Amino acid sequence: MNRSDLDDIDIGILTNILQVNQTVTLLNLRENKISDEGAKSLADALKVNQTLTTLDLGSNKVSVEGAKSLADALKVNETLTTLDLGSNKVSVEGAKSLADALKVNQTLTSLDLSRSQISDEGAKSLADALKVNQTLTTLVLDANEITDAGAEALADALKVNQTVMMLSLKRNVLLDYAMKVLADVLRVNQTLTTLHLDDNEISDERAKSLANALKVNQTLTTLNLRENEISDEGAKSLADALKVNQTLTTLDLHCSNISDEGAKSLAHALKVNQTLTILDLHANKISTEGAKSPVDALKVNQTLTALDLTVNQISAKRAKSLAAALKVNQTLTTLDLHCSNISDEGAKSLADALKVNQTLTTLNLHDNRISVEGAKSLAHALKVNQTLTTLNLHDNRISAEGAKSLADALKVNQTLTTLDLHGCNISDEGAKSLADALKVNQTLTTLNLHDNRISDEGAKSLANVLKVNQTLTILDLSRSLISDEGAKSLADALKVNQTLTTLVLDANEITDAGAEALADALK
């Protein structure tokens, strides 16, 4: 019921049902027009309802009074485990009321107060509650103008709290002292597994404090430092920590200032680290030469499963090195190279690797200047590869000819489940080729053909195959040239198709007549 334009009157009707209903466990009311009155109605229902476990009120108009009502309900409710009040005006007083409730509530495990204007004072109240609460495991406080004082209070609480496993403090104002106290708590806390510190102006010096803590911490598995000011020096500190840390599995350095030297430091760590499975270096300043180090590390590393090098200067040359690594690497399952300028030459190298690699399941080559020749190379690989399940070629120049090659591969490939050809200029001819492939393919479940100049002719071909295909569940034809005629063909197909669950047709040329045909098919 999210984005349903529901107001307080609608919620009043809904809560009357909740007071007697014994089956509903999840209620999603995100992005409606619910204010304090509606929140009070929901709170009254929560005092008697014994089944609801998840309530999402994110992005509504709930302020202090509404938060207080919900807090009062939490003092007696014994079933709710997840409450999302993100992007409301809970403010300091609302946070205090919720904190008081947490001191007695014994069931809530997840609380989201992101973008709720709670500031340091609200964070302090919640921190006091964490010292006694024994059930909350997830606390999200993103974008609340929390500074060093609020961070210190939360850190003190985490020294005694034994249940919180995930703390998110994204987009706050955490400076040197805040990083120091959070690093200090990582040295002693034995329950926190996930810490999100995105977009907090974390410098190399602050990263160093966290890195030193990682050398002794034995529980943290995910550290998110994306969109900070970490450069090569900070990357080196984190890399040194990775050489001894034995628990961290995910490190996110997306959108930092890391260049070639930082990439080299992290690569050296990957050669000895035995626990990290996900490394995100998306949108840094790593050049073709700098990318060589992490690529070479893949030849010896035996744990990394996902590597994101997107929006760096990878080029065809480094794609060739990466392909060589993939021929021997036995652990990587996800490789993201979107916006990496690898061109047809790089695509050909990766395709050659796919013919022998037996572990990669997801390959993202979105926006890489790949044309017909690159698509043909990848198609040849798909005819023999037995592990890849997702291939993203969004915004390349593969055209109808490239689509035909991929379609031919789909006739024999038995593993690919998702193919993204969004914005690939395949036209009706390419759509026809893919439709022919879907007559025999038994594995593809998602096909994205958004923005491909497909008109009624292509829509008819796809509609015809939907009458016989028994595996496709998602088909995206948005931003095409489909009119009522094409819509009617698709509607006829929907009357007999028993597997498609999602058909996207927004931004086409369909009028009321086409919409009515589709609506009739859904009856």
* Token pair belonging to 403: 């689509």
Dist. CA 523–CA 520, nearest whole Å:
5
Q: Which two tokens stand for residue 351?
A: 């395709």
Cβ contact 108:130 at 8 Å? no
Helix 399-410 vs helix 427-438: angle between axes, to the nearest 10 degrees?
0
Q: Which residues pair with 56 in a beta bridge?
A: 28, 84
Regarding beta strands 250-252 and 222-224, do their DSSP bridges make them parallel or antiparallel, or are they unpaired?
parallel
Per residue of the chain (523 residues), what is the pLDDT tens digit?
A: 767 789 999 999 999 989 988 899 999 999 999 999 999 999 999 999 999 999 999 999 999 999 999 999 999 999 999 999 999 999 999 999 999 999 999 999 999 999 999 999 999 999 999 999 999 999 999 999 999 999 999 999 999 999 999 999 999 999 999 999 999 999 999 999 999 999 999 999 999 999 999 999 999 999 999 999 999 999 999 999 999 999 999 999 999 999 999 999 999 999 999 999 999 999 999 999 999 999 999 999 999 999 999 999 889 999 999 999 999 999 999 999 999 999 999 999 999 999 999 999 999 999 999 999 999 999 999 999 999 999 999 999 999 999 999 999 999 999 999 999 999 999 999 999 999 999 999 999 999 999 999 999 999 999 999 999 999 999 999 999 999 999 999 999 999 999 999 999 999 999 999 999 999 999 8
**E strands, 76-209, where?**
82-84, 110-112, 138-140, 166-168, 194-196
Please give the structure tokens belonging to residue 162.
Answer: 């034994």
Q: Which amino acid is at 166?
A: M
pLDDT of residue 475: 99
Residue 108 CA neighbour count, 13 Å, CB half: 27
Write down the pLDDT at residue 338: 96
Which pTM does this prediction carry?
Answer: 0.93
For residue 416, give the DSSP letter: -
End-to-end CA distance of the chain: 21
Instruction: Return the pLDDT at 2.
Output: 67
Q: Under a CB-based contact definition with an 8 Å cutoff, are residues 455 and 480 in contact?
A: yes
- Which one, of 210, 196, 203, lies nearest residue 228 by Cα? 203
In angstroms, the CA 389 to CA 297 distance is 24
Helix ranges (H only) for 388-471 are 399-410, 427-438, 456-466
**β partners of residue 336:** 308, 364
Spatial separation of the C-alpha atoms in residues 313 and 286, rounded to whole Å: 6
448, 420 contact by CB (below 8 A) = yes
- Residue 360: what residue type? L
Encoded tokens for 29: 């009311």
- Residue in this structure with the two tokens 């709710």, named with its chain if needed: 80
- How far is Cα 85 from Cα 37, in angstroms, rounded to an integer? 15
CA 318, 320, 321, 325 torsion-angle sign: positive
DSSP one-letter string for 454-510: --HHHHHHHHHHHTT-SS--EEE--SS---HHHHHHHHHHHTT-SS--EEE--SS--
CB-facing half-sphere around the CA of 257: CA atoms within 13 A: 13
Residue pair 170/196 in contact (Cβ under 8 Å)? The answer is yes
Q: Say if residues 314 and 285 touch (Cβ distance below 8 Å).
A: no
CA distance 195 to 190: 13
SS3 265: helix
Q: What confidence score (pLDDT) does residue 523 get?
A: 85
